[in-house]
Amino acid sequence: MDDFAAVCQMYYQKVYRFLLSLSGDPRRAEDLTQEVFYRALLHIGQYRDDGHMFTWLCTIGKNCWISECRKEKKQVPLEQWNAVDGKGPEETLAERERARALRRAILDLPEDSRDVVILHVYGGVPLREIAAQKGKSESWGKVTYYRAKQTLRQRMEEFR
């Protein structure tokens, strides 16, 4: 248990920042982070000690976030439409809608592509490490990431 407490202390802020970048909501990121460490504690026996603890925790976090997104089709509350950084409500809403469209597009990617994008972009996990976690080569990670970016660009063009 002391080892797990050390893991929590070492990775809590990094996992929180990863989930904050995914969710865009500090309270939601905090809840998800706590859920990640709870699930990690429950399933610590499934962790393969290959030196990729952060990647494993981010994978749990990504799955928690995706699960929550699928359960929750929420609207943007009116209080969030207020001006941010001197921007008017229309511009703020348009930015949030683009961000939501991008998140939806990421969720619609095939699983491997989605995992690579989320872990690499939002988690800062190197492509080499993601590929190793999936039992693939580093070039697989690079190609998968490139193709996912192309798909996301196309989907975001359609959004405009």
**Which carries the bigger pLDDT value, residue 121 or residue 78?**
121
Residue 87 phi, psi dihedral angles, 5° rounding: -90, 150
The per-residue pLDDT for 127 is 92
The per-residue pLDDT for 1 is 55
Report the pLDDT averaged over residues 17-36.
Answer: 90
The per-residue pLDDT for 13 is 92
Q: Which two tokens stand for residue 134?
A: 């999936």
Question: For residues 145 and 101, what is the distance between their CA atoms, to the nearest angstrom?
Answer: 19
Nearest to 128 by CA among 119, 138, 120, 118: 138
Q: How confident is the model at residue 86 (pLDDT cuts 50, 70, 90)?
A: low
Which residue reads 């976090």 in tokens? 61
The proportion of the chain whose per-residue pLDDT surpasses 90, expressed as a percent, equals: 34
Q: How confident is the model at residue 65 (pLDDT cuts 50, 70, 90)?
A: confident
Q: pLDDT, tens digit, for every residue of 99-116? A: 888 888 998 999 999 989
Report the pLDDT averaged over residues 51-65.
Answer: 87
The per-residue pLDDT for 44 is 83
Residue 121 phi, psi dihedral angles, 5° rounding: -75, -50
The per-residue pLDDT for 32 is 94
Report CA Rg, the chain.
Answer: 17
Q: Beta strands of 2-142 (E only): which ranges? A: none
pLDDT at residue 128 greater than cutoff 80: yes
The per-residue pLDDT for 35 is 94
